[in-house]
Amino acid sequence: MDVQETACRDAFAELSSPAWIHDPYPFLRWLREHDPVHRAASGLFLLSRHADISWAFKATGDAFRGPATGEPARYFPRAARSLSLNLLASTLAMKDPPTHTRLRRLISRDFTMRQIDNLRPSIARIVAARLDSMAPALERGEAVDLHREFALALPMLVFAELFGMPQDDMFRLAPGIGAILEGLSPHASDSQLAAADAASARVQAYFGDLIQCKRTNPRHDIVSMLVGAHDDDADRLSDAELISMLWGMLLGGFTTTAASIDHAVLAMLAYPQQRHWLQADAAGVKAFVEEVLRCDAPVMFSSIPRIAQRDIELGGVVIPKNADVRVLIASGNRDPDAFADPDRFDPARFYGTSPGMSTEGKIMLSFGHGIHFCLGAQLARVQLAESLPQIQARFPTLALAEQPTRKPSAFLRTFRALPVRLQAQGS
């Protein structure tokens, strides 16, 4: 497709095509410039400009709402019989106030910034151990798949630590997470949805057993805290609500964090002149991490429906009441109206600012915004911040062994393999 000359009938189909899997950004640029409020063949609307996306995030609860009980089946007939879609409908991200307010409060009283920061030493130890396991092969001159050996393994082990579950259990559950995410795409096939449902059933059953275990034998982990009583608060999450929350946390923070680690390592290799940020203070590391998340958002567009509460006009297009609206996060992060020279990798644009905010006061969209801001954003940031300086210090001559291979997905910017090796000194 020549995006300069041809109208786009369905952006989902284009983003799924092999032509754009490796580099979707020229197509996203065309979409912003020519069809920023795009109506896909399915009837979904896609927003691609930063201003429209950030407004839509903030307008949830006003111009937009989450789907009401039973409503997903009207938009997606398969939702009535799909475990994965029903679990998605029960997650925090799909709820509006006051239900959302209650659930977020109950989760946030235990899943705090302090709780995540207390994991830093454990995360640093996990990072060092994974790099130790890679070192012998790299030092023998062999290629190592960093995606499998590090980027995927790290969030698995961190979630096992966070949830207080055996590492082997997490490694058994993890392969199904990608299948669930693909099944939640608006354009998933019946076979993809069936695979997602099978994986969701395994996760659901496991977390049900884990909750009972923590109730009778609590430890110092987030699941034990969430099932425990609070003397100052009689309200608590039901088992169904807790399973939904754990399922959503795993989906939202596993594959996406792995993809962000992959993208961060590729940025280190592609822009060696920017590695000094990883040898600086915490603010420098944070700036590098934020720019990675902006340049290559792991999730292309939102999987969460935003239902228009009224007719909405954007860019000369009327989005009718009750239409399902999604936002193209990856496009908004590359919008030149928000980020100058947006295709340039420049951590300076986030140096000395609050997380997610550029020096020009623009929001990096990868974690969302507003009431549905990602609950696990800090956990992902800590994993990246603990990983990158250690990789840089341990393997300063790291290089690509061959070109990485991506999974063919319109939804997730993920990898199948990222082979690396150590480059000989002076090469």
pLDDT at 4: 46
Higher pLDDT, residue 349 or 6: 349
Residues 324-341 have a mean pLDDT of: 96
Which residues face 324 on adjacent strands? 307
Residue 396 is predicted with a pLDDT of 95
Which of the four pLDDT bands, split at 50, 70 and 90, describes residue 426?
low
Helix 239-253 and helix 190-216, axial crossing angle in degrees, nearest 10: 120
Lowest mean pLDDT among 36-40, 58-62, 194-198, 252-256: 58-62
User: Rounded to the nearest 5°, which phi and psi values hold at 413?
Assistant: -95, 70
Of residues 396 and 303, more confidence is placed in 396
Averaged pLDDT for residues 37-58:
93
Closest by CA to 177, choosing from 269, 259, 277, 266, is 259
Asked if the model's pLDDT at residue 287 lies above 90, the reply is yes
What integer pLDDT is reported at residue 76 of this predicted model? 59
Phi, psi of 142 (to 5 degrees): -85, 160
At residue 75, the pLDDT reads 55
Residue 158 burial class via C-beta count within 10 angstroms: exposed 0-12, middle 13-18, buried 19 and up: buried
Average pLDDT over residues 131-139: 97
pLDDT band at 252 (very low <50, low <70, confident <90, very high): confident
Residue 25 neighbours by CB distance under 10 Å: 16
Please, what is the average pLDDT of the chain? 89
Q: How many CB atoms lie within 10 A of CB 285?
A: 22
Spatial contact of 181 and 256, defined as CB atoms under 8 Å apart: no
User: 354 or 3: which carries more pLDDT confidence?
Assistant: 354
pLDDT at 3 over 60: no
Handedness of CA 72, 78, 84, 87 (dihedral sign): positive
Q: What is the pLDDT of residue 114?
A: 82
- pLDDT tens-digit profile of 108-128? 887 878 888 889 999 999 999
Task: Summarize pLDDT for 56-86 with one digit per residue, the tens.
Answer: 998 877 899 887 766 665 655 666 678 888 8
pLDDT at 131 over 50: yes
* Side chain identity at residue 87, one-letter code: L
pLDDT at 409 (0 to 100): 81
At residue 1, the pLDDT reads 43
Query: Average pLDDT, stretch 343-355?
Result: 96
Q: 3-7, 11-15, 367-371: which range is least confident on average?
A: 3-7
Taking residues 309-333, what's their average pLDDT? 94
Average pLDDT (397-424) is 91
pLDDT band at 229 (very low <50, low <70, confident <90, very high): low
What percent of the chain has pLDDT above 70?
93
Residue 385, C-beta contacts closer than 8 angstroms, at least 6 positions apart: 282, 285, 286, 289
145 beta partners: 419
- DSSP labels for 260-277? HHHHHHHHHHH-GGGGGG
CA-wise closest residue to 127 among 97, 151, 103: 151
Asked if residue 35 has pLDDT above 70, the reply is: yes
Question: Of the spans 162-176, 256-270, 299-313, which averages the highest pLDDT?
Answer: 256-270
Q: Which helix (H) or strand (E) holds 423?
A: none
Q: Reduced to 3 states, what is the DSSP secondary structure of residue 258? A: helix
Neighbours of 143 (CB within 10 A): 15
The span from the CA of 332 to the CA of 353, in Å, is 19
